Amino acid sequence: MRFVSTLTILIFSFALARAQDKDNLSSVDIYGSLRFRLAEFDGNYEVQDNLSRIGVDLSYELENGLTVLGRSEWQVNLVDNSAEFNVGSASGAEFGRLTAGDEPLDTFVTRLGYLGLSHVEFGTLTFGKQWSVYYDVSEYTDWFNVFGAQATGTYNAGTAGGVTGTGRAEKAVIYRNQVGNLLMAGQIQLKGDTDNDIDGYSFSARYGFGFGLSLGVAYNQAQLNIESIELVGLNNDPSAAILGIKYEKCPLRAAFTYTNQDNNETVDVADVTVVYDGIGLEFYTHYYWTENLRLMAGFNYLNPDDLDPRVDEDFELKYYVLGAAYYFTRNAFAFAEGKIDVGTDQTGEDRFDVFMVGMRADFSLTR
């Protein structure tokens, strides 16, 4: 690991030395997305933030095909609510210690923050909090405005996937490169909170067939101090493997993911948090009926395995999503989205349906 640390210092020293001249600054963008929704659930109505965010993106072009790149992005809570229907909202949660919606969001929460080097031939190396290589594939079906992304294990155990490295991976080093139609990526986490030199690793590979069809696989292995985590059933480090396929050619996008998870998800029952394995399936599709109208449909299904007896034997995640979005302009639209829930919660009770209407407006100074 001393070699990795030394290499990191040398890379950043070289990059910063070459980027001192402000004339090398090739692009700076301030961007964001303002989002709100009105939710109807279990007989209640609530105005909620829908994970609004603002960010800064910059790059310095150097000689010999090198570019220094960086991004910082913050989630902005526009209203006083917990955004409990977005599974990726709990940005700072520990593994298994917070279920999305249990605590109010701060006004500003760090979503992303990384810096790195890119080369036209040798690929990109980045350091910080960033979208994981596991998400390279799980994002195939993470396209709804509110729901979805619950069966892939991306935002697992009530977190944004930062601790385990499946979502917005924290303290991550990621390398990406492309050879022809093949995109490859590798990731390690260096958190310094375990006895291991590396606190987690991942890889992904995606292949585009050139006519809108893509196939992807990814694997993520976390390394935790499981002896210090008070969770029932946690007998090994969390891991997840995913296979995804998508077709995208306007006006149609359709995608499917299959996930096999081990010690990767949790559920709260009887004053304890229980870890479980599971098989997850997700499907997403949208179709542009007109240039301004997008219709969406899909489902999430997670079949738990190896459950503790305190959890009801019928417990499962299973719901369908239907939605539509109308675009006033390319960067502003209104949407309606409904979740038809046919699953069973951890106590054996039926889950309730949810209906949303909302708006979203994106902005960028350069794009």
Q: What one-character-per-residue DSSP string does 181-244 give? A: TEEEEEEEE--S-SSSSSSEEEEEEEEE-SSSEEEEEEEEEE---GGGS--BT--S--EEEEEE
Quick one: the chain helix, strand, coil %, rounded to 5? 10, 55, 35
Q: Which one-letter amino acid corresponds to residue 139?
A: E
Structure tokens that stand for 343 in this block: 């699953």
CA distances from 60 to 13, 17, 109, 151, 175 (A): 14, 11, 26, 38, 19
Give domain limits for the chain.
Answer: 2-364
Residue 343 makes CB contacts below 8 A (sequence gap 6+) with 316, 317, 318, 319, 350, 351
Expressed in angstroms, the distance from the first to the final Cα of the chain is 39
Confidence at residue 362, expressed as pLDDT on a 0 to 100 scale: 97
Superfamily of domain 2-364: Porin (2.40.160.10)
Buried b (16+ CB within 10 A) or exposed e, 17-36: ebbeeeeeeeeeeebbbbbb
Mapping DSSP to helix (H, G, I), strand (E, B) and coil, where does residue 150 land?
A: coil
Burial-class residue 215 by CB neighbours within 10 Å (0-12, 13-18, 19+): middle
> What are the helix (H) ranges across the chain?
2-18, 135-138
Buried b (16+ CB within 10 A) or exposed e, 248-257: eeeeebbbbb
> In angstroms, rounded to a whole number, what is the distance separating the alpha carbons of residues 104 and 14?
42
Q: Which of 257, 222, 220, 266 lies closest to 241, judged by CA?
A: 220
Confidence at residue 332, expressed as pLDDT on a 0 to 100 scale: 98
Mapping DSSP to helix (H, G, I), strand (E, B) and coil, where does residue 343 land?
A: coil
Residue 275 makes CB contacts below 8 A (sequence gap 6+) with 96, 157, 231, 232, 233, 234, 263, 265, 266
How far is CA 100 from its chain centroid? 14
> Tens of pLDDT along the chain (367 residues)?
444 444 444 454 455 445 445 556 678 899 999 999 999 988 889 999 899 999 999 999 988 889 999 999 999 888 866 556 777 766 656 665 433 333 445 667 889 999 999 999 999 999 999 999 999 999 999 999 999 999 999 999 889 999 999 999 999 999 999 999 999 999 999 988 767 789 999 999 999 998 999 999 999 999 887 777 778 888 889 999 999 999 999 999 999 999 999 999 999 998 899 999 999 999 999 999 999 999 999 999 999 998 888 999 999 999 999 999 999 999 999 999 999 999 999 999 999 999 999 999 999 998 7
> In angstroms, rounded to a whole number, what is the distance separating the alpha carbons of residues 191 and 129?
11
Q: Which of 339, 358, 296 lies closest to 42, judged by CA?
A: 339
What's the pTM? 0.89
Contact predicate 218/258, CB 8 Å: no
Confidence at residue 153, expressed as pLDDT on a 0 to 100 scale: 95
Confidence at residue 271, expressed as pLDDT on a 0 to 100 scale: 84
C-alpha dihedral sign at 228, 230, 232, 237: negative
> In angstroms, rounded to a whole number, what is the distance separating the alpha carbons of residues 127 and 134?
16
Upper half-sphere CA count for residue 225 (Cβ side, 13 Å): 9
**CB count, 10 Å around CB of 338?**
19
